[in-house]
Amino acid sequence: MLPAQTMHLALRFRQQGPWDLSRNCVHAFPADDAGNEYLKVFQQRSADIVCEEMQASLDSFADFLTRGGSKKRLQERYDENCTLFRTMPRPRASDTSPRESFCGLLAGNARAEVMANNAMHEVAAQFKLNQDQQAVLRRTKAWLLDEKTDPVILVHGAYGAGKTQLSVAAIVFLTRVLDTIGDQTVRICVAAATNVAVDNVLKGLKRHGFDAFNRVGSIRNMDQELLEHALHYSERGLAAAVQDARAQLTDLARDTLRTTRSAGPSQALRYLEKTPLTKLAKEQQRREMQCRVVGVTCCSSSREFMMQTFQKPGVRTICLIDEAAQAVEALSMLPLVRTRAQVAMLVGDPLQLPPLTATQAIPQCAQKSSSSTMPSSHAAPKRYADGATSMFDRLRRLGREPVRLSVQYRCHPRISEISSKLFYDGKVRSGICAADRPALLAGLPAVGFYDVGAVNEKRTTDGSFVNEREQSLVCMMISKLIEAGVRPEQIGAIALYRAQAEAIESRLQAGGRANGVAVSTVDAFQGAERDVILISTCRTSGPGFTACPRRVNVMITRARHHLVILGRRDALCVSRLWRDVLQQCDTQTSLEGVLQHLNDAALEAREHAFDEDLELERELHGG
């Protein structure tokens, strides 16, 4: 990978204030300073970013950070960009026309201020926002009322602290105010590095009766619940876009009907097949005009459609980036720059997994990341691996203080206590009590560690690890939980190595237990949650990279009711972090004891079902 000093981005600035930038010139600077430069733009509000001139550079930069590639090819891309910088034409008059500021949109309007305050209180009550979440809502209200307010809001939300709920509430609040005053100029871009994160926010909007949004991106990768909101766009024209959409929906309908019997893709496909192209064009144009909210992944924000939508004369843009601490800096730059955002809210948790690039080994990425708010005993080194910095972390390190969401509503208080103590200095509080997360099986502890004994790990040919003993135990426990009445959709299994996760899933499929049970690595499980989480640590010769604080934090906080950890105690306890984790676990029950407990629960459930069948048969035959 090229050294950091040779990675450059290009920005064209229009000088408007005291910041020392030459008028209408291109500035190329190391990517490592990109967040710093962008922060200056926001703080000074004295420069305007012209997206057309930097798009090729950003696309290339994001591409080689996220996908990797040979050093020769990266050097070729860098050389191409340098040529682009030298030959770039001067901006057109339309490029340098000033955009109206969003901050202070309602400043000086006493009636509008009262209306904004009322709307804020209504939304806070509707979404049952706590004090931390209401503080963020007040910051977004300040965008409307104070032209000197900070245009960037960082929201550091702990696990289960309602980050998505807050994002949805902020969008509803802003659109409610803007609709009330009859504004037609403001657009809201909802972006994230993954389709899942974008779709979670949009589905949250739908659950609260808000459906005035569009979804831009690959139909194949978006949630089926959002297909009716998809915009079909291609640089080759609408006909080509519809043709591509039909092909994707055909594949999706076939796969979906085979697995879940959902009719969503089939309905969307029939609509495209029966609707004339002219009607589709008018429908899309109507939706583009009426829907101020657009959901898109960071990569898809580079599409020409985004420029056409957000860079129209008079348009003002709010950009909300979810899971911002898990996106490399260049990816976060794409929606901010492509939409020419004037204000932005970045939501994330820098104490969970950092951005991952294809050019990094997982241990390096997991360990070389900033975690200044962790207790010193578990803090990772503060140096970043090249390219793995998030814009969220960058701005935080430069002194911008995040608003903290410190009340969690996901985990049983015993589970939350471990993570709060080890990774958040004990500042995360539980908004629920133990009665809100009752045991799904009587006698099963909220947190338990079970020693698998002296069974050796095996290294695979690709450098991963498997542990057959733990595979058998995880599959056995899942089977017993299901027999005891726990639904498969309530159960998740996390393996700290990919080969182990694949082996567990294969065993479950062979036993007919895979349908509904989530099995994956820590990285893939981030953002998800289940009532019962079983963890296979796998290692027996030492903790390896499983002792990464961020990885352990994510692993622990996926569970709502029960956290079950399987591993070899003496191997894990080489790590101080794992010693601290295991001290918080239930140690009164042995592995044999919990297996017997699960077996008894399964047997009792079978006997109960048998008795119910007999009773039903007696009723059918008249006693």
262 and 193 inside one domain: yes
483 and 556 inside one domain: yes
Q: What's 595's domain CATH number?
A: 3.40.50.300
Rounded CA separation 1/68 (Å) = 8
Asked if 198 contacts 322 with a C-beta cutoff of 8 angstroms, the reply is yes
434 and 322 inside one domain: no
504 and 569 inside one domain: yes
The answer to the question of residue 297 being in a domain is: yes
Taking alpha carbons only, the member of 252, 256, 249 closest to residue 271 is: 249
Decide: pTM greater than 0.85: no
138 φ/ψ angles, rounded to the nearest 5 degrees: -65, -35
* C-beta atoms surrounding 276 within 10 Å: 8
Asked if 477 contacts 595 with a C-beta cutoff of 8 angstroms, the reply is yes
349 and 463 inside one domain: no
DSSP E strand boundaries for 64-172:
152-157
pLDDT of residue 511: 82
Rounded CA separation 416/432 (Å) = 10
Question: In this predicted model, what pLDDT tens digit does every residue of 66-121 receive, in sequence order?
Answer: 344 444 444 444 444 443 333 333 333 334 344 567 777 888 888 888 999 999 99
350 and 416 inside one domain: no
**Any residues with CB less than 8 A from the CB of 308 and at least 6 apart, and which?**
none
How many separate domains does the chain show? 2
pLDDT of residue 353: 87
* C-beta atoms surrounding 522 within 10 Å: 25
Q: Which stretches of the chain drop beneath a pLDDT of 70?
A: 1-100, 232-289, 356-388, 587-588, 607-623
pLDDT of residue 529: 93
343 and 258 inside one domain: yes
The answer to the question of residue 622 being in a domain is: no
CA 605 to chain centroid, in Å, comes to 38
Q: List the structure tokens of 575.
A: 């790590």
Residue whose token pair is 């009587």:
442
Helices (H), 450-515: 468-483, 498-510
The answer to the question of residue 124 being in a domain is: no
The answer to the question of residue 258 being in a domain is: yes
414 and 339 inside one domain: no
350 and 415 inside one domain: no
Q: By three-state DSSP, how is residue 294 classified? A: strand
Asked if 494 contacts 524 with a C-beta cutoff of 8 angstroms, the reply is no
The answer to the question of residue 199 being in a domain is: yes
The answer to the question of residue 128 being in a domain is: no
The answer to the question of residue 65 being in a domain is: no
201 and 349 inside one domain: yes
- Residue range of the domain that includes 527: 407-608
Helix/strand/coil percent split, the chain, to 5: 50, 15, 35
pLDDT of residue 226: 83
The answer to the question of residue 293 being in a domain is: yes
Taking alpha carbons only, the member of 364, 443, 361, 351 closest to residue 390 is: 351
DSSP E strand boundaries for 247-304:
293-297
pLDDT of residue 265: 63
pLDDT of residue 243: 62
445 and 301 inside one domain: no
302 and 438 inside one domain: no
